[in-house]
Amino acid sequence: MSSIPSEHNQPEAWIKTKDSELYINPLPVRIWHWLNALGFVTLILTGTHIRYAHLFNLMTFETAVKTHNWVAFAVIANYFVWLGFYIFSDRITNYHPELNVKKFFDNAFKQMMYYGYGIFRGEKSPHKVVPHDKFNPMQSITYQIIMLLVVPIQFATGLMMWDVKRFEGVIALLGGVEVVNTVHVLIYIFFVSFTMIHAYMGALGHTPATHFREMFTGYEEEH
């Protein structure tokens, strides 16, 4: 896209390097990432306890509900920190959609072949990670859908069930509490699956710990 700087005119902070490593994830992104990860894991655990209280005895039902609610508000606040950072910084280009449909599908197919075949043969990823374009096509479309659609829906359904009386008009418009609860639970199941897949994909670096270390240091290894 024309709005993405070339390698020759990127801001200095974008091309910061250390030995054979490239500075990809600035400190605010790393802090947000780990707070968000901690929050989502806590929500999954407490949500599972609430939904299947008869199967678990880790805490009381009341404690699970209170913890779930407070952590949910913290995660919502953290989401708006993430949104504000990307909207008001030059890193927003990481979330720009690829408007050339043919180019997007060509690159996405190459990435799919890499994940399904090439990675097991030691081939290089077809996507070159750079600070202004760190997501490959599959990651890009996935994170756009999750962060801009799925997460807000989960927040909204959670808020409605947190105070059914306050939102009874909206709940009735959407089909009732059962519909809202079903949507919330289905997205919960999606996030349980996504968390496991995300952890697995994170272990597919040069070593199993490479990508996890990068989210602490900010530097990504160049292979």
Chain segment 160-206, per-residue pLDDT in tens: 999 999 999 999 999 999 999 999 999 999 999 999 999 998 888 77
Chain segment 116-168, per-residue pLDDT in tens: 889 888 888 899 888 889 999 999 999 999 999 999 999 999 999 999 999 99
Q: Is there a domain that residue 199 lies in?
A: no
Chain segment 29-40, per-residue pLDDT in tens: 999 999 999 999
User: Is there a contact between 50 and 64 (Cβ–Cβ < 8 Å)?
Assistant: yes
Tally of structural domains, the chain: 1
pLDDT of residue 10: 47
Q: Is 98 exposed, middle or buried (0-12, 13-18, 19+ CB in 10 A)?
A: middle
Give the confidence band of 19 by pLDDT, cuts at 50, 70, 90: low
Q: Is there a domain that residue 168 lies in?
A: no
- CA 69, 72, 73 angle in degrees (round to 5)? 90
Pairing of strands 21-23, 219-221: antiparallel
Q: Is there a domain that residue 195 lies in?
A: no
Give the confidence band of 5 by pLDDT, cuts at 50, 70, 90: very low
Q: Is there a domain that residue 165 lies in?
A: no
Q: What is the Cα 58 distance to its own chain's centre?
A: 27
The more confidently predicted of residues 8 and 95 is 95
pLDDT of residue 207: 79
Where are the alpha helices (H) located in 52-150, listed in sequence order?
61-87, 101-116, 137-145
pLDDT of residue 166: 95
Which stretches does DSSP call E strand in the chain? 17-18, 21-23, 219-221
Give the confidence band of 18 by pLDDT, cuts at 50, 70, 90: low
Q: Is there a domain that residue 128 lies in?
A: yes
Q: How many whole angstroms separate alpha carbon 23 and alpha carbon 220?
A: 6
pTM (2 decimals)? 0.83
Q: Is there a domain that residue 6 lies in?
A: no
Handedness of CA 106, 108, 111, 117 (dihedral sign): negative
- CA 155, 156, 157 angle in degrees (round to 5)? 95
Q: Is there a domain that residue 40 lies in?
A: yes
Q: Which domain holds residue 134?
A: 14-152+209-221
Q: How many whole angstroms separate alpha carbon 87 and alpha carbon 145?
A: 16
Q: Is there a domain that residue 78 lies in?
A: yes
**Phi and psi of 58, rounded to 5°?**
-75, -30
Q: Distance of CA 8 to CAs 12, 132, 136, 188, Å? A: 10, 13, 21, 43
Chain segment 63-121, per-residue pLDDT in tens: 999 999 999 999 999 999 999 999 998 889 998 888 899 999 999 999 999 988 898 88
